[in-house]
Amino acid sequence: MTQRKQVHSPRRHLPLFSSPDPLRPIAFRMGRSISLAEVREDVGRFAASLPASRGFLVNLCEDRYLFLVAYCAAIARGWTNLLPPTRAQHVVDQVAGTHVGSFQCRDAAVVGALSGEPSDLAIPTEVGGDHVAMIGFTSGSTGVPQAFPKQCWSLAGATARSSAAIRARLSGRFGDARPWIVATVPPQHMYGLEMSILLPALGDMAVHCDRPMFPQDVAGALADVPEPRVLVTTPVHLRVLSESGIRFPDTALIMSATAPLDAGEAASAERAFHSTLLEIFGSTETCALAQRRTAIDEPWHLRQGAKLEPGEDGTVVEAPWLPGPVNLQDVIELVSEGQFRLRGRNSDLVEVAGKRASLGDLTRRLSSVPGVIDAAVIQLDPVSSGVRRIAALAVAPGLTAPQVLARLRNLIDPVFLPRPLILVASIPRNELGKLPRQSVIDALARVQREDDRH
């Protein structure tokens, strides 16, 4: 595969919403189903509140329905959605400050617009395929967040393949029935946007607009909507749900992403929900790229038309919904046509005393120590001698750091034992369960400062 500009032929215009039936349900909110006709009316109300001159909408809405309305209104008005990697105000201000004409939109702004009279503004049924619908940002788990613009045609192509993957899993039992999505992830991140906003808007599905967190709330949200139900979540959240003992309504499909999931965890989730679990492989750069049924499959299965070219330092991705080749830091091994194994990330590989290891594998081994609930392993920046130490955070109630290290010594090469290993009450993950590198460094420094004071 050569590094060449991929030629694409986006449609000049694309529908703002798929399936134009005005009565089709698109969302469930506050105890009732909301039709496409109602959504379009609300989109018109909010779009009318935006200045006619094009700008950037920093979509910070926590209510999923208000996010959906604001997201679609911005596109209908010719604006571009900005989705910061976190809603921390200093990050939001930084993103807004680098895009002239930015408007920070929170729930109250949309609620205010929706409380007014219906708008005379005509909402288009189609939008320009080359319009930049959004700019997403990487999470910063391996460094500084980077911006990636997405055009309407690209998002539509990725969504079509996500929709096809879900419907293929459901069709045998449910035929053409419309899937209902319940998501525990926020819509600001690429995974949450794809699965809980774009699928309802462009994939003829419907979404529960709550973001349930506790197991009983997830069970309640699933009970609110008809079958077939699709739960969109993360490994960290899935672990809590599977171990809760709560009886969940029949859930046809579980989608998991944002962090690695092992076969045992996937099998436990399938048993807890009497369901099938699909793990999604993707990124802000590429959207969803592949999936696998982790409980029984090790290789990943590429989405239709996607191609990978592995290299020593990462992987080049080409796909029909991408404007050109994309370089990922993920190191992969091709298994067969359309299948691959994930070997880690280029930035994930470390070398100590001439030996190499993966930070992801070290984290999994630390997490497997009896008594350890959660963990994170990183390699620190070089000290004056040039040495880069391995450090770790761990949640291990009732254990001391020396006890954890003693147990870990039997699981890894001693040269990779983390120094320091610091026990904490919780790992500083973001809303998706991801762990930005800087958050670990800050947590290590904070705990060490507290120890020095004592």
State the pLDDT at residue 6: 47
DSSP label of 136: E
Kindly give, in sequence order, each residue whose CB lies less than 8 Å from that of residue 73, ignoring residues fewer than 6 positions away. Answer: 43, 44, 46, 47, 50
Comparing C-alpha atoms, which of 32, 47, 42, 63 is closest to residue 114? 42
State the pLDDT at residue 2: 46
Rounded Cα–Cα distance for residues 110 and 128 (Å): 24
Rounded Cα–Cα distance for residues 159 and 249 (Å): 26
State the pLDDT at residue 357: 79
Comparing C-alpha atoms, which of 134, 105, 130, 3 is closest to residue 47? 105
Rounded Cα–Cα distance for residues 111 and 60 (Å): 13
Comparing C-alpha atoms, which of 219, 211, 280 is closest to residue 251? 219
DSSP label of 30: T
How confident is the prediction along the chain (454 residues), in pLDDT tens digits per residue? 544 444 455 568 999 999 889 999 999 999 999 999 999 999 999 999 999 888 999 999 999 999 999 999 999 999 999 998 888 788 889 889 999 999 999 999 999 999 988 888 888 999 999 999 999 987 655 555 689 999 999 999 999 999 999 999 999 999 999 999 999 999 998 999 999 999 999 999 999 999 999 999 999 999 999 999 999 999 889 988 999 999 999 999 999 998 888 898 899 999 999 999 999 999 999 999 999 999 999 999 999 999 999 987 789 999 999 999 999 988 889 999 899 998 777 667 777 766 777 888 888 889 889 999 889 898 887 765 556 788 899 999 999 999 999 999 989 888 889 988 989 898 888 776 777 777 778 877 776 676 666 5
DSSP label of 182: E
Residue 28 β-bridge partners: 33, 208
CATH 3.40.50.12780 is held by the domain 13-297? yes
Per CATH, the homologous superfamily of domain 353-453 is ANL, C-terminal domain (3.30.300.30)
Rounded Cα–Cα distance for residues 6 and 4 (Å): 6
Planar angle of CA 431, 432, 435, nearest 5 degrees = 90
Question: Which tokens go with 440?
Answer: 């670990």
Residue with tokens 């492989």: 281
Cα separation of the two ends of the chain: 58
In sequence order, what E strands does 121-248 have? 126-128, 132-137, 147-151, 180-183, 206-208, 229-233
Planar angle of CA 60, 65, 69, nearest 5 degrees = 75
Going from N- to C-terminal start, the domains of the chain cover 13-297, 353-453
**Residue 210 identity:** D
Residue 182 β-bridge partners: 231
Please give the backbone phi and psi of residue 421, each rounded to the nearest 5 degrees, phi first. Answer: -115, 120
Percent of the chain clearing pLDDT 90 (strictly above): 64
The string of pLDDT tens digits covering residues 241-267 is 999 999 999 999 999 998 888 898 899
Percent of the chain clearing pLDDT 70 (strictly above): 92
State the pLDDT at residue 444: 77
CB 51 within 8 A of CB 235: no
Residue 347: burial class (beta carbons within 10 Å; 0-12, 13-18, 19+) = middle
State the pLDDT at residue 91: 83
Rounded Cα–Cα distance for residues 362 and 368 (Å): 10
Comparing C-alpha atoms, which of 103, 81, 278, 90 is closest to residue 190? 81
Kindly give, in sequence order, each residue whose CB lies less than 8 Å from that of residue 123, ignoring residues fewer than 6 positions away. Answer: 16, 40, 43, 44, 47, 76
CB 300 within 8 A of CB 339: yes
The string of pLDDT tens digits covering residues 224-247 is 999 999 999 998 899 889 999 999
Comparing C-alpha atoms, which of 204, 212, 216, 209 is closest to residue 249? 216
